[in-house]
Amino acid sequence: MPRFRVFVWLVSVGVGGLFALDGWGFSSSLETSWFTGEAHELVYQKWDEGDHLLSRLVWPAEGWLLEAEAGLSWWRVGIEGWYAFLVGGREPGAWMEDYDYMNLGDPDPTHFSTHPVELGPYREIGGGLSFRIVDRKTVTVSLGAGWQYLHRYWSARDGYSQYPSGVGDSYDPSSGTGWPYPEWTGDEPKSSFDGEVITYEQEVMGPMLLFRCGMRPFAWLGVDSSVMWSPYPLAVTLDEHLLRDLLFLDHMAGGMLLDVEGEFEVFLWKGLSLYGRGWYRLVSMAKGDSYFKEDGTWYRAADGKSGMESTEWGLGMGMRVMVE
């Protein structure tokens, strides 16, 4: 017990001494936000005339997030970190859609299936270091760098498919082999599924570059905008088809990871404020390698490539506490 008291005393003295130093500051915030968007899982097949889009799965995302953020600043330097996670569960009325394009070179789908989807877990972790290159009373401009990690998971069950019948092989117009599938119209007979059908998991991460601009037009009001961009994002996705007992693993590197935010902040009294925030996120990965697991063995899809795109936007409100 005496050692514990000494430890607490040392921590208290250290924290107190930190904030006694001129120029140090600490902030923390808690925010809840509503967001919506969708992710596109893409599968390509190599052929003589380029990569053909063979399959496109659309995964909707909508719900409520809770985000906690903490930051430490000294002079013109700032360090911050954040963690956000999904606080909602299954989204009623949300269905994923699966389109297949079995005729090479033809942009029209031939096969279709759709299933109610459950979202979660759904989280992000990030942090970074920034430097204020402009630091005036009413205007600040910051540049920075950091790291961001995004994790999303979907589970689809039940639903139905609409597949053509009486056709045996995909069609290649360059060689004339195969037999063209008819175009999917939505009028085909429906075949129902029962139980969990497919799951999809994304992990996206990468270094981030930051540009932030803040304005303080009034003593009680602040306005802030920021852009974060990754010069080289990385992504790993896992797609499990439970009814077929197939597992697909995709690795992608390069592309676009972009976050754009806008915020207004109302200062209630010293050290306490309320804020509203809007944000938009774009992920567009370069094509990568695809692997599949069948009968317990992993294989590389020699004629296949993978891709992934997603967009999200959201609105949030939160409270921030500042100690200077």
Q: What is the pLDDT of residues 216-232, one digit of tens each?
A: 999 999 999 999 999 99
Query: Is the model's pLDDT at 19 over the cut of 60?
Result: no
**Per-residue CA distances from 251 to 40, 187, 285, 291, 301 (Å):** 15, 36, 10, 9, 12
Residues 200, 57: Cα–Cα separation, whole Å: 10
What's the pLDDT band for 176 if we cut at 50, 70, 90?
Answer: low
What's the pLDDT band for 302 if we cut at 50, 70, 90?
Answer: low
What's the pLDDT band for 170 if we cut at 50, 70, 90?
Answer: low
Q: Which two tokens stand for residue 9?
A: 């005393």
Query: Is the model's pLDDT at 103 over the cut of 50?
Result: yes
Q: Which residue has the higher pLDDT, 164 or 248?
A: 248
Phi, psi of 39 (to 5 degrees): -115, 145
User: Would the pTM of this model clear 0.85, i.e. be above it?
Assistant: yes
Report the run of H or E that residue 303 belongs to, with start and end: strand 297-323
| pLDDT at 51 (0 to 100) | 86
Residue partners of 193: CB distance under 8 A and separation at least 6:
113, 115, 157, 158, 159, 160, 161, 243
Is 215 strand, coil or helix? strand
Query: Is the model's pLDDT at 50 over the cut of 90?
Result: no
What's the pLDDT band for 13 if we cut at 50, 70, 90?
Answer: very low
| pLDDT at 291 (0 to 100) | 92
Three-point CA angle 88, 93, 98, nearest 5° = 105
Residue 200 near residue 153 (C-beta atoms within 8 A): yes
Q: What is the rounded average pLDDT of the residues 66-75?
A: 96
Residues 233, 208: Cα–Cα separation, whole Å: 9
Residues 114, 143: Cα–Cα separation, whole Å: 44
- Where do the domains of the chain lie, and which CATH numbers do they carry? 24-323 (2.40.128.90)
Q: What is the rounded average pLDDT of the residues 144-161?
A: 97
Is 296 strand, coil or helix? coil
